[in-house]
Amino acid sequence: MPFVISIAQLNFTVGDVPGNAQKIIHAARQAHAAGARLLLTPELALCGYAAEDLFLRSAFLSACEQALAEVAAATAALPGLTVVVGHPRRLNHLADEAADEAGHGLCHNAASVLRAGRTEHTYAKQYLPNYGVFDERRYFLPGEGSCVFEVEGVRIGLLICEDAWYPGPARRAQQAGAQMLVTLNASPYHLGKGAEREQVMRERVLETGLPLVYAHLVGGQDEVVFEGRSFALNADGSVAARAPGFEEKMLLAQVSQAQSAITIEAEVAPRESWEAELWSALVLGVRDYVGKNGFPGVLLGLSGGIDSALVLAIAVDALGADKVRTVMMPSPYTADISWIDARDMAARLKVRYDEIAIAPQFEAFKTALAPQFAGLPEDTTEENLQARIRGTLLMALSNKFGSLVLTTGNKSEMATGYCTLYGDMAGGFAVIKDVVKTRVFALARWRNAHDPFGTGAGPIPERIITRPPSAELRPDQTDQDSLPPYEVLDAIVERYMENDEPVGDIVRAGFAQSDVEGVTRLIRINEYKRRQAPIGVRVTRRSFGKDWRYPITNKFKG
C-alpha cells in the first residue's frame, strides 16, 4: 500500500546530544502528524557531524546511548512510525589496546531502526572515508553485512553515506531482499558536489534497479558546510524529489507500489546557479559559526576594497545589520574614494560604522623604531605595521564587546601569502578564505543584482568592484605590482593546489613558466602563515583547512 517517507533535513549541533535528541523527537511527531510511516534522519544526527575526538571520550558515547534510548521511548507513542536515527555505537567488546593496534576508535558510525519503543536493527557504516576533510578511520571500525527492514510491506535497504558511493553495499542490500534503498548522509559541500552526488546515486540505482532516498544534513560545523538538498531517485534514475538547499526542510515523499514496481513522488526544488549556491554556503557558514558558538555579533575592518565589501554583505545576509559593526581605519595612504565608498556601503546596509585613524599609532611605531632602522629604506616592514595596528584595534574592540572579528582575506591571498600575520589575518573567522579573487568579483556582481535574504539590493558601490584592487599600504600601490593578473593566478592555484597538477604540466598547459614557478614558490613558502590563520568556510574541493596538510619545512618544488 502507498506510504509516506519524511526526510528530516535538519541542522544539528555537534555535542548538543540532548538538544539533538529533542529535535529528532519533534521531527518524529511532525512526521507522524503528516501521516508518514518512515522518518529518516541524517548521518550521526544524534551527536552532530563531525564530532572528531569527542568520539574517543567514553562519557560522550554514554550520552549518545542515553539519548538514543530517550528517542526510542518518546517515539513509542507514535504508532505506525518507524524512525531511523544516525548515531555512534560503542563497541563494548573491544579492549582499548585492540582498538589502538588497529588504528581505530571503539565505535561504529551507525544507524538504528526504531519502532514501537525499541531498536529493531542497527546498521554500521562499512566504507570509512579517510581523505579530504574526513578522518573516520581514526574513530570508527567498519561494519559488515546488510540491514533490510520492512515498512508497509516494502523491504528497505539501509546505507550510510560513503557506502552508497561504492557498488558493494547497495548490491548486498538488494541480494538481502531490499526493494528500495535509503541512505543517511553528512556529505560536506563544495561547488558542484550536489550534481556529483545525484550522479553517483543514479549509478547505484541503475546498477540495482532500486529506487533510492538520500537524507542529508544541513548546517555549518566549523569550516565545513552541509547544504541539504536531500533527494530521491526512481528506479529509472530520474529525480523524484529534491529538497531546497541550505535550509531546514521536512520533505515528504509518497511511496507507491504497483505490482513489483516502486515509485516515489514529491516536490522537486530547482537547481541554483553556482553564484547563488556559493553565496548561500558562505551565509550559512557564517550564521552557524557565530550562532552555535554564542557570539553576540561580528565586526570587521571596512577598507573600501572589494574583499571587505563582500564579507560585509555576507555577514549582513547571515546575521542582520544589527549584529554587524564596521570600522574604517584609514592610513596616510588611504585614498579619499576608499573613505567615501566605505561610508556609502555601510549606509546602504544600515550597519554601525566607525572611523579610527591609524596615522598617530603608525608615527609612534616609526619613531620608536627609528634608532633600530637608521639608514634603512622603508619597505614591507612599514606596510605590515599598518596592518598590525588595524588588527590590534579590531581585537581590542572584540575583547571589549565580545564580537567575533571576521577577516577579509581571499584564497588567492592565502595561497600566495599576500596577507600579514597578526595584521589583516588577525581574527576569529575567515569568511572568504576559500574564494579566489576572480570569484570574489563575480559574487560581488551577483549580489548587486540579487537580494536573496531581503537585506537590500545593490549593497556594494560600483566603484568598489571596478577600481583596481590595492592594499593601500604605500603610495600608488596595486595588487598586480607583485602578483600576476588574478585570472592567471587563480587558474594556477586551482591546478596546483586543488587538483595536484605538477608544475611541468601547468606550464605545458600554456602558462608562463615564470608565473607558474613564482606562484607555486609563494604557495610553498607561505605555509607557516596559513597554519596561523583562522578557519573559514570551505567551498571548494580543497581548501586551506583540514584537507590541506603540507609541511611547513619543505624543499620540494614539483
Determine how β-strand 231-233 pairs with β-strand 239-242: antiparallel
Residue type, 381: T
CA distances from 291 to 64, 95, 221, 265, 295 (A): 23, 39, 11, 35, 6
Helices 486-493, 437-449: inter-axial angle, 10-degree rounding: 110
Helices 17-33, 58-75: inter-axial angle, 10-degree rounding: 20
323 is catalytic: no
Residue (of 403, 413, 429, 394) closest to 311 by Cα position: 429
CA distances from 226 to 157, 181, 187, 284, 539 (A): 24, 22, 6, 9, 10
Helices 513-525, 486-493: inter-axial angle, 10-degree rounding: 60
Contact assessment for residue 275 and residue 248, using Cβ atoms and an 8 Å cutoff: no
In eight-state DSSP terms, residue 163 is: G
CA atoms 517, 487, 439, 231: torsion sign = negative
In eight-state DSSP terms, residue 52 is: G
Helices 167-175, 193-208: inter-axial angle, 10-degree rounding: 40
Determine how β-strand 298-301 pairs with β-strand 324-328: parallel
CA distances from 34 to 7, 18, 31, 251, 254 (A): 12, 24, 5, 11, 12
The Cα–Cα gap between 27 and 41 comes to 9
The Cα–Cα gap between 320 and 262 comes to 45
Residue type, 547: D
The Cα–Cα gap between 363 and 434 comes to 35
E-only strand ranges, 139-296: 148-151, 154-160, 180-185, 212-216, 218-221, 224-227, 231-233, 239-242, 249-258, 261-265
Q: Residue 426: beta bridge partners?
A: none
411 is catalytic: no
Residue type, 268: V
Residue (of 167, 151, 169) closest to 257 by Cα position: 151
Q: How many helices (H) and strands (E) does the chain have?
A: 17, 20
Catalytic pick among 43, 277, 383, 498: 43
Catalytic pick among 23, 107, 125, 472: 125
The radius of gyration of the chain from alpha carbons, rounded to an integer in Å, stands at 26
Catalytic pick among 161, 277, 292, 419: 161
Three-point CA angle 332, 334, 338, nearest 5°: 155
User: Which residues are known to be catalytic?
Assistant: 43, 125, 161
